[in-house]
Chain A
Amino acid sequence: MEERDGRAGGFRKVRRSREGGSVPGGGVRACSSLPLSAQDTVDRLLRLHFRDGRTRVNGDAQLLMAEMLNVFVREAAARAARQAQTEDLEKVDIEHLEKVLPQLLLDF
């Protein structure tokens, strides 16, 4: 994952600080030199879909939304994983995701 193209900003510093523990030498990863910062990514993601050009997002709301998206991804992944495990499989495939998707969307 570390060799990935440097465009991604990720959602949140929290995620990065968790990963920082597992990176040898720790500290800030190369991501800091990227054009898109973590918070910026969330902001742009939302602004992409606003209908009114004047709508802005408050700093705290950005952080909360980043957290929300983290939770969303984790839920999706965890539920699909649970589905795969119920079927006694060791690899999560699209079909497992499809089965958990309706309830996931209803819960969000």
Chain B
Amino acid sequence: MAAAGDGERLLLTQRLKAAVHYTVGCLCQEVEEDKDIGFSKQSIAAISEITFRQCETFARDLEMFARHAKRSTINTEDVKLLARRSSSLLKYITQKSDELASSNLEQKEKKKKKSSAAKGERTPGEKEAAVTENEDSNMS
């Protein structure tokens, strides 16, 4: 059974590496156009390998941060902590995080308005439908 589990993990790893490699290729292409320079295939492959490995470090750190805060779900504060080493990176990530938070807030307010307007028009028997509207996915 262990071998089957390992085989699955290997397959997943390969798929993820391929996904990373594809994205890295796309991003490098953008940099190529920006800077009017070319990337060798080996360098692109190297960047995707480095990125994949860096994910491991990120993942372990994030897990530790969450655990330190006695949580089992990693949230945006943990990601911000991850970006602490470079002040410009931290600033950028904090900015993105604030943007996300404010757009979440907007969405919530929209939902509230919709469901309260809908509730006003509905008969009590149909309240269950309104309740399911408020189910949040894994957002915050």
Chain A residues packing against B (C-beta within 8 Å): 1, 4-5, 7-11, 15, 18-19, 36, 41, 44-52, 54-61, 63-65, 67-74, 76-78, 80-81, 84-85, 90-94, 96-97, 101, 105-108
Segment at the interface with A among B78-86, B110-118, B126-134: B78-86
Count of CB-CB pairs between chains A and B under 8 Å: 193
Contacts of B47 in A (CB 8 A): 73, 76-77, 80, 97
Q: Which chain B residues (40-69) contact chain A, with CB distance < 8 Å?
A: 40, 42-43, 46-47, 50-52, 54-56, 58-60, 62-63, 66-67
Which residue of chain B is the closest to A11 with respect to CB atoms?
A: B23
Contact assessment for A59 and B139 in the assembled complex, using a CB-CB cutoff below 8 Å? yes
Contacts of A71 in B (CB 8 A): 89, 92
Contact assessment for A54 and B72 in the assembled complex, using a CB-CB cutoff below 8 Å? yes
Contacts of A74 in B (CB 8 A): 27, 30-31
Chain B residues packing against A (C-beta within 8 Å): 9, 12-13, 15-16, 18-31, 35, 37-40, 42-43, 46-47, 50-52, 54-56, 58-60, 62-63, 66-67, 72-76, 78-80, 82-83, 85-86, 89, 92-93, 96-97, 100-101, 104, 137-140
B31 partner, pick from A41, A47, A78, A97, beta carbons under 8 A: A78
Contact assessment for B58 and A46 in the assembled complex, using a CB-CB cutoff below 8 Å? yes
Contact assessment for B50 and A76 in the assembled complex, using a CB-CB cutoff below 8 Å? yes
Which residue of chain B is the closest to A45 with respect to CB atoms?
A: B55
Contact assessment for B93 and A64 in the assembled complex, using a CB-CB cutoff below 8 Å? yes
Which residue of chain A is the closest to B23 with respect to CB atoms?
A: A10
Please report the C-alpha to C-alpha distance between residue A105 and residue B89 in the assembled complex, in whole angstroms.
Answer: 13
Contact assessment for B93 and A68 in the assembled complex, using a CB-CB cutoff below 8 Å? yes
Contact assessment for B54 and A70 in the assembled complex, using a CB-CB cutoff below 8 Å? no
3 A-B pairs closest in CB distance: A8-B22, A49-B59, A8-B19
A101 partner, pick from B13, B25, B50, B96, beta carbons under 8 A: B50
